[in-house]
Structure 1
Amino acid sequence: MIIVLKPEATEADANEILDKISSLGLKPLYMPGVERTVLGALGDERVLRQLHLDSYPMVDEVKPILSPYKLVARELQAHDSIISIGGVKVGGGNFTVIAGPCSVESKEQLFGIAEMLKAQHIPLLRGGAYKPRTSPYSFQGLGEEGLALLKSAKDVYGMPVVSEIIDPIDADLMSDYVDCYQIGARNMQNFRLLEAVGKQKKPVLLKRGMSATIEELLLAAEYIINAGNPNVILCERGIRTFETATRNTLDLNAVALLKQKTHLPVFVDPSHGTGVKSLINPLSRAAAAVGADGIIVETHLNPKEALSDGHQALTADDFSQLMADIKPFISAAGKQL
C-alpha cells in the first residue's frame, strides 16, 4: 500500500503513521520527496485494511500496490534508483561498463586485463573467483586466492570489483574483498543465497535465470531488498529457447519491459547472452538503444589460453572497437558513459 501525504504534512505526521503501521506487524517505508512525502505499508492485506488511513487528516491518497513484487515496483518509486559500486554510480542516466575475465587465473592475467581496461576508462572490474560450471571437471576458480587478486587489482588500478558468490556461507568472507556481489543465472532462485546478500550492504548484480520469467526475476530481487539491501542491479543474460545457433537467446524485450516495471538499474550481458564473440558488439549497441543502464562483458588478452569461456572473450582490440562503436548509441539513448 502506498500512502501519499499532503504537501503540508510534517515529519511528525509521517512518524505517527509509520508507528501505526509498525504496531500492526507490517513493514513501514519512509520515502520523503521534494514536494511530497510518500509512505509504504507492506504485509497481509487483511491487516492493511485495519489501518483506516483515510481518517488521518494529513493523508492525501492511499493506493494499493497491485504487482506481486512491492519494493522493486515503479508503483512504489517512480524515479530510477542509483546504485553506488565502490563510488561508481550505476543507473539514473549513467551507462556503465563492467568488464574483465570470466575467471581469475593468475596475477599476470588479471593485472594485464585491468591495465587494458583502465586505459579504456572502464570503471569496474569483473572476475570469477568461484565458478559454478556445468561439468565438475571444468576449472572451478581459485577461491579466496582469486578474491585476494581482485582486491590487489582494485588497489593498484583503482577499479572496484564485481565477483560471483555461489554459497551463502561466503557472504561475509567476500565482503572483505569485493565491492559488488554477482548472483549467477543458476542461483537466481537460491533463496537462502538471496537472503544472505540481502543482509549485506554491498550492491548485488542479479542475473536472470536461463529459464526464468521477468516476474520471477523481479521477485528474486524482492527477496534481496526485503532482507534489507536495496542496492540491486538486474541483468538480462539470455534465456534458453529452442534456438541453438547461439548459446542463449538474448531477450532485449525484457530490458525495455523491466525499465517500465521497476526502478532498479538494468544491465545486459551480451557475452553469455550470445556466446558468439562477433555478436557482442552489435548486441551491446542494441542494449544501449533499448534503454539498458550498462553492460557486463568478458575480456581476455589471450582468449585461446583462457581457462573458461575463451570463445566469447573480447581481446584488447575487440574491446577498443566495442567502446568506439557503442558511444553514439549511448548518447542517442540520452545516457552518458
Structure 2
Amino acid sequence: MIIMQPGATREQISTVIDRVHANRMEAHTNVGTRQTIIGVVGDRHNVPADQFESLPNVQSVEPVLKSYELASRQFHPENSVFSLGGFTIGGDEIPVIAGPCSVESRQQILETAQAVKEAGANALRGGVFKPRQSPYSFQGLGEEGLEYMAEARALTGLPLVVEVMAESQLPLMSKYVDMLQIGARNMQNYSLLRAVGETHIPVLLKRGLSATIDDLLNAAEYILFGGNNRVVLCERGIRTFETATRNTTDINAIPVLKSLSHLPVVLDPSHSTGHTSFVSAVAKAAVAAGADGIIVEVHPDPEHAFSDGQQSLKPEEFARLVKQVKAVAEAVDRTLVPEETPFFPNGVING
C-alpha cells in the first residue's frame, strides 16, 4: 500500500502507478479527502519497497496485513458510499429492500411492488432464477420474470435487486437489473465473482452458509479486483448446531465487518431466522448494531408462495416493521431513506 503525501499531483500519482505496472502488478487508486492511497496487488516478493519510497511525494509504503487488500479499511479508511437509484448505501440513511423470494406472476410482483413502496421500501427484490435444493422445485420464470420486474420498476420507481446464478446470465441481467445479488451458495463461485467484478453493476454479496467473515471479505475482494467497487456485504445467517431457526443470525458480523472493511453491510432477517415471527425483532437488532440496510421478503399471500412462504411477511406486517425500524434508527442517530426518492442511474459517491 503506497500512501501519497497530501497535495501530490496527478503526474506524481501517475508516475507511481506506472512503476507498479512496470513490475507486473495491479494498481488500485483510492482518492480520499486528504490524500491518495494506491493499493498494489500482485507478486511483491521481489519488489523492494524503496523502489516506490524514492518517488516524488510518496509518504510511505506499508504492508497490507489482510489477504483482502482492496476490501480492507487499511486501503480505504473512509466508508464507501454509493447510489442505487435515488438513494445512497453506506451513509447515514438506511435503505430498506423488500419483495418476494420468487417472481411468480405479473400480478403477484406488481401487487407486491406497490405494497412495499407504499410501506416505505426503497428497492424491490425478487428472484427469477432460483437455486433450489431439489431440481423438481420451482426454478423461477427467467426473462419473463425480469420483464415483470421491469414493469414493476416503471410503476413504482423502485430499483431492482435480482440474484444472478451463472456467468451466462449476466448479459440478460445487465439489461434489466440495478443491483446483482450473489446468493449464499455462490459466495465462493470465484469465476462468477470475477465476471460480476467486470460488469460495474452494484453487487449485494451474501455470506455463505458456513463462511467465516474472512471468507466473505475475500469473496468481495474478487469483485473489487475486477474493478467493481460498488459492493454491499450481506449477513444472512450461518449454519450452526441450532435448529430452532433456519439459520443463526450473526449480529456480531455487522460491527466486525464495519471495523474491518469500508464496504456497506446489510442484514437479511428473513433468511437468517426462517420464521415471520422473528423477522421484525432481528431487523431492529440489525439497525441497532449499525447495519447500513435491511433486505426483507414480502409476499401478498405467503401461505401459497412458491418458495420461502414461511419467512415472508404480509404487506401489513412489513409496514409495521418499517415503522419500528425507523424508530430504532432514530434512536441511534440515523434515519431511514425518505420514501419519496427520485430514480436516477447508479453512480459512485464515495466508493
Aligned counterparts of 2:319 and 2:215: Cα–Cα separation in 1: 35
Following TM superposition, by how much is the alpha carbon of 1:310 offset from its aligned partner in structure 2, in angstroms? 0.7
Unaligned 5+ segments in structure 1 are: none
User: Is the 1:162–1:181 Cα contact (8 Å) retained in structure 2?
Assistant: yes
Amino acid at match of 1:296: I
Runs of 4+ in 1 over 6 A off after TM superposition: none
Amino acid at match of 1:120: A
Aligned counterparts of 2:22 and 2:333: Cα–Cα separation in 1: 45
Aligned counterparts of 1:9 and 1:258: Cα–Cα separation in 2: 31
Q: SS of 1:252's equivalent?
A: coil
Following TM superposition, by how much is the alpha carbon of 1:56 offset from its aligned partner in structure 2, in angstroms? 2.4
Q: Tell me which residue corresponds to 1:167.
A: 166
Q: Tell me which residue corresponds to 1:177.
A: 176
Aligned counterparts of 1:173 and 1:274: Cα–Cα separation in 2: 32
User: Is the 1:300–1:315 Cα contact (8 Å) retained in structure 2?
Assistant: yes
Q: Tell me which residue corresponds to 1:326.
A: 325
Aligned counterparts of 2:314 and 2:232: Cα–Cα separation in 1: 26
Q: Tell me which residue corresponds to 1:111.
A: 110
Relative to structure 1, is the Cα distance of residues 48 and 41 closer, same or farther in structure 2, using a 3 angstrom cutoff? farther
User: Is the 1:41–1:48 Cα contact (8 Å) retained in structure 2?
Assistant: no
Q: Tell me which residue corresponds to 1:95.
A: 94
Q: Tell me which residue corresponds to 1:272.
A: 271
Q: SS of 1:172's equivalent?
A: helix
Q: Tell me which residue corresponds to 1:153.
A: 152
How big is each residue's C-alpha offset from its partner over 1:258-293, in whole Å with a ceiling of 9 and x where there is no partner?
A: 000100000100000000111100100100011110
Alpha carbon RMSD of aligned pairs, Å? 1.3
Aligned counterparts of 2:200 and 2:7: Cα–Cα separation in 1: 33
How big is each residue's C-alpha offset from its partner over 1:32-55, in whole Å with a ceiling of 9 and x where there is no partner?
A: 233222222221121442652222
Amino acid at match of 2:143: E
Following TM superposition, by how much is the alpha carbon of 1:96 offset from its aligned partner in structure 2, in angstroms? 1.0
- With a CA cutoff of 8 Å and minimum separation of 6, indicate the structure with the bigger relative contact order: 2
Amino acid at match of 1:190: N
State how many pairs are aligned. 336
Amino acid at match of 1:138: S
Q: SS of 1:49's equivalent?
A: coil
Following TM superposition, by how much is the alpha carbon of 1:94 offset from its aligned partner in structure 2, in angstroms? 2.1
Following TM superposition, by how much is the alpha carbon of 1:118 offset from its aligned partner in structure 2, in angstroms? 1.4
Aligned counterparts of 1:48 and 1:135: Cα–Cα separation in 2: 51
Aligned counterparts of 2:211 and 2:298: Cα–Cα separation in 1: 26
Aligned counterparts of 1:31 and 1:111: Cα–Cα separation in 2: 41
Superposed, 1:30-179 pairs within 5 Å as 30-49=29-48, 52-179=51-178
User: Is the 1:20–1:51 Cα contact (8 Å) retained in structure 2?
Assistant: no
Q: SS of 1:76's equivalent?
A: coil
Range 52-61 or range 167-176, more displaced: 52-61
Superposed, 1:175-214 pairs within 5 Å as 175-214=174-213
How big is each residue's C-alpha offset from its partner over 1:217-258, in whole Å with a ceiling of 9 and x where there is no partner?
A: 111110111112111111000000000000000111111100
Unaligned 5+ segments in structure 2 are: 337-351
Q: SS of 1:45's equivalent?
A: coil
Following TM superposition, by how much is the alpha carbon of 1:168 offset from its aligned partner in structure 2, in angstroms? 0.9
Indicate yes or no: 2:251 matched with 1:231. no
Amino acid at match of 2:85: G
- TM-score normalised by structure 1 residue count: 0.97
Aligned counterparts of 1:272 and 1:40: Cα–Cα separation in 2: 35
Amino acid at match of 2:253: A
Following TM superposition, by how much is the alpha carbon of 1:156 offset from its aligned partner in structure 2, in angstroms? 1.3
Amino acid at match of 1:212: A
How big is each residue's C-alpha offset from its partner over 1:296-316, in whole Å with a ceiling of 9 and x where there is no partner?
A: 000011111111111111011
User: Is the 1:249–1:274 Cα contact (8 Å) retained in structure 2?
Assistant: yes
Range 229-238 or range 38-47, more displaced: 38-47
Q: SS of 1:52's equivalent?
A: helix
Aligned counterparts of 1:36 and 1:292: Cα–Cα separation in 2: 28
Aligned counterparts of 1:8 and 1:180: Cα–Cα separation in 2: 35
- TM-score normalised by structure 2 residue count: 0.93
Amino acid at match of 2:79: D
Q: SS of 1:243's equivalent?
A: coil
Aligned counterparts of 2:323 and 2:86: Cα–Cα separation in 1: 25
Relative to structure 1, is the Cα distance of residues 48 and 75 closer, same or farther in structure 2, using a 3 angstrom cutoff? farther
Q: Tell me which residue corresponds to 1:16.
A: 15
Q: Percent identity?
A: 48
Q: SS of 1:296's equivalent?
A: strand
Aligned counterparts of 1:152 and 1:176: Cα–Cα separation in 2: 13
User: Is the 1:21–1:51 Cα contact (8 Å) retained in structure 2?
Assistant: no
How big is each residue's C-alpha offset from its partner over 1:39-84, in whole Å with a ceiling of 9 and x where there is no partner?
A: 2222112144265222224112221111000010000001111132
Q: SS of 2:205's equivalent?
A: strand
